[in-house]
Structures are given as C-alpha cells and as structure tokens.
Amino acid sequence: MRAAAVALLGLLLVACASHPRQPAPASPAETELRQRILEEALAQLGRPYRYGGGDHAGFDCSGLVLHVYRDAGIELPRTAAQQRRHGRAVAPEAARPGDLFFYRIDGGDHVVVYIGDGRAVHAPRPGRTVTIAEVNRDWWKKRLVGARRLIGAGV
C-alpha cells in the first residue's frame, strides 16, 4: 500500500512539474497602461520617418517608442540600444501588447512596439511612414535580438 501511495505521489509531482506556468493576470492598472500605449502607438500610423525624430513631425524607431511610452508616463532613454537595457527580458512567444521587440538590421538597432497577434508598430526607414509590421515572418525572426517588458509585475 505504501509503495502505491509513493508511486501516486511521484506521478502527481511529475504532472505538476510538467505544467507550463501561466502568466499572472494583468492588474486593471497594467491593462489600462498597456491600452494607452497601444492607442498612442496606433495614433502615429502614417507619420513620416525622420532620423532623430521624436514628435508628430516624424519619428525614427526609438523616437517613436520614447514618445509612446512618455505619453503613458514612462521615461526611457533615447536610443534603441539604450532602451534594450530597460525592463526585463521576456520570451517573444510570451510577449504582451505594449512590450518591445529589438532587432539587429543592417548593423543597426531597431525597436518596435508589439501590439499583439504577431504585429508591431514601428518607424521603418527614410522615405516610409510609421506602419504595422508582421513580426512573425521569417525576415523579422532572423533579426530578433530580444523582447523586453517595461510594464507589469517584476519590472
């Protein structure tokens, strides 16, 4: 009888250990903050790319992120490389809307605001406007260097 109980306990422990940990649900304040970030990011669609830009006259990638987060009351440094040192790393598949994805493109750093469903808002390059990218495509995946969370528990 004791052997059966020990075996059953062992099976239960293995089953519990194999369950992936579910993320903690977002607080109402976090949900509201993420919504504000998404709304501001989406409001910039169509604005021109402008190197060094960080206002409605035009944005570069890190200027867009700086603007969107500042509007939500979160201060960040100016460049994508500096922004990548803030918050905490998250697996891209665990990203939530409002998290940031960082890329290495043509030797430079690039940052986008993840909006969910494999899409992100970004300021791509001169001659283009702020747009939505499908970041689940292979082109993006090959250049991904990390995702960061600046909002929520543990940040």
Which residues participate in catalysis according to the annotation? 61, 110, 122
Backbone angles phi, psi at 91, to 5 degrees: -70, 135
Token couple for 47: 């604005």
Residue written as token pair 């949900």: 31
Q: Kindly report the length of the chain.
A: 155
d(CA 83, CA 80): 5
